[in-house]
Each structure stands twice: as C-alpha cells, then as structure tokens.
Structure 1
Amino acid sequence: MKTLAVLVLCSLAVICLTSDASTGSQPADGPAQEGLFVEREQASTVVRQKRAAGELSLTQLESLKEVCEANLGCEDMMDTHGIIAAYAAYYGPIPY
C-alpha cells in the first residue's frame, strides 16, 4: 500500500514538472518581462502617496499639539513656526 502511494506521488510530480517545462518555453507577456523599472505614472498608482500637511484632520492636529506641548522647545517653536514644522523638527515625520 505504501509503495502504491509513493508511486502515485512520484507520477504526479513527473506530470507537474513536465507540464511546467512545456509552458515555460513559451514567452510570457507580463510584468516579469518588463523588468524592474516602471514609469512614474504606473508607480504612483501602486505606491501610496504621502498626504500633504494641509490634509490633516483637526483631531490629528490636536494630537500632534498635545505631543509637542510636552516639550518646551517644541512648544515655543509651535508658537512661531506652526505645529507641523515644530513636530517634524523635534519628532521626525508626521505618523499619519
């Protein structure tokens, strides 16, 4: 019984390997043939665009302000340069 199961598995493996070899010789049309580089328009549809600072909601701006108020330097810069510039200077890019 075990030899029958091994024989069936081996025959399935041979069938799979021969069917892949016959289709692999035909040229495939698709992204694999195009290479690694794509046009800017095509890449922009795939890659998520960063949102501009003006698109933050009031809740998001308020949470940035609360974080910035904990640091005296950030709070002073927030009063003169704005919350976006102050947060980015002290804490890096905005996480939203």
Structure 2
Amino acid sequence: MKSLTLLFFCCMMTASLSAGVPDSSDTKSVSPAESPSDDGVFVKREEASTLVRQKRAGVADLSVAQLESLREVCEANLACEHMMDTSGIIAAYTAYYGPIPF
C-alpha cells in the first residue's frame, strides 16, 4: 500500500513539473524580454526592500536570556503566545504587557 501511494505521488509530481515545460515543437527564438527566467523570480532592489521586512534594531540589543524571559512571560497568556508565533516575541510582549523592561 505504501509503494502504491509513493508511486501515485511520484506520478503527480512528474505531471505537475512537466506541465510548465514547453513542447519541443514550439521552439521559437525567444527575445531577452520574453526569456523564461524573467517570470518574476528576480526583482529590483527597491521593490525587494519594500517586500522584505527589515530587522528591528531593538532585537539585536536583547540577549538570548532576555528573549527567553520575555517568551516565558508571554507563554502564560494564550493570546500572547499565538501572537508570538505569528508576529514575533517583541511585538507580542509589547502589545500585551507594554514596553520591554530591559
């Protein structure tokens, strides 16, 4: 049964990977503006900087022990713990307990 499931997933993966490959009969000359690598994988530096969240300066100032202390306080509150998992420990602690005391 496991080999049948594995075979099924391999077939599905092969089919999904080959769906994006152009046919060999469709080989036209492709201009640089229409190149396959121009499908949105690479972005300009300005656009990337707006998409990627910058590292906060305050996080670098806290030691591992201080972050663990904040994490322990936040784990006592279920809502804070959920926000910690989604937004980070600094944002969760600040939202529920105010400014960081360190």
User: With structure 2 as the length reference, what TM-score do the two structures score?
Assistant: 0.43
Higher Rg? 1
